[in-house]
Amino acid sequence: MLLTTDLFRLACLLIGYAFGCIQSAYIVGKVTKNLDVREHGSGNAGTSNVIRVIGKRAGIAVFVIDVLKAIAAYMVCALLFNGGGSFIEGASLLPGLYAGLGVILGHNFPFFLKFKGGKGIASMLGVMLALDWRAALPAYAIGFIILMATRYMSLTSLSMALLFLPLLLFFNHRPETLLIAVVMASMAFFLHRGNIQRLLSGTERKLAFGRNK
């Protein structure tokens, strides 16, 4: 299946958005504790808040699902529209990349939850891996070091989003790919604006690695 016009971009965005609307944090909260995780803790439907509100196992489950839904959407659109990436060979990275952008939009702004979702970091990590593992793995490694050194999940997330751009440039990706990566990173920074303010003021909460209290 191959569209000869730019309509494939819209199609991939919509398919990705549908995958992104699988709100793992909301579902896990309802299934395990019968609560809406967005009404507790930081109010974010993401891994960090699930860890704080429900526990580490639930947080890990949410993280894995959010990463995998991005990879799944990427692969579906790559297969439908002759795309390529880390795990599949095709003519262009754009079908999967637009699907990935759609996943992040669906995750952050799910229509059935009044457009209040998460911040899209785990899904962005999935897109990064599906797009180009050579750029993704160094970003992951540096992010892991930052997390171990600071225990600030927000700083770790923003660092990986920012690092991915020069890494894509290093591997000679086309301008449209870089532009979409900029959009993803900009969205991450916008949704983390409160975290950035708390980081600057020294009031940002650190992620606890020990036993949950």
pLDDT band at 85 (very low <50, low <70, confident <90, very high): very high
Strand partners of residue 121 = none
Give how far the C-alpha of residue 153 lies from the chain's centroid of Cα atoms, to the nearest Å: 13
Tokens for 172, please give them: 């000679």
Count of domains observed in the chain: 1
CA distance 163 to 204: 22
100 within a domain of the structure (yes/no): yes
What is the model's pLDDT at position 2?
Answer: 46
155 within a domain of the structure (yes/no): yes
116 within a domain of the structure (yes/no): yes
Q: What proportion of the chain, given as a percentage, has pLDDT over 70?
A: 95
Q: What domain range is 70 assigned to?
A: 7-201
Is residue 3 pLDDT above 60, yes or no? no
Q: What proportion of the chain, given as a percentage, has pLDDT over 90?
A: 85
What is the model's pLDDT at position 43?
Answer: 87
CA distance 137 to 79: 23
CB neighbour class for 114 (10 Å; exposed up to 12, middle 13-18, buried from 19): exposed
What is the model's pLDDT at position 33?
Answer: 92
91 within a domain of the structure (yes/no): yes
Cβ proximity of 101 and 13 under 8 Å: yes
CA distance 112 to 125: 24
What is the model's pLDDT at position 211?
Answer: 46
120 within a domain of the structure (yes/no): yes
Is residue 163 pLDDT above 90, yes or no? yes
1 within a domain of the structure (yes/no): no
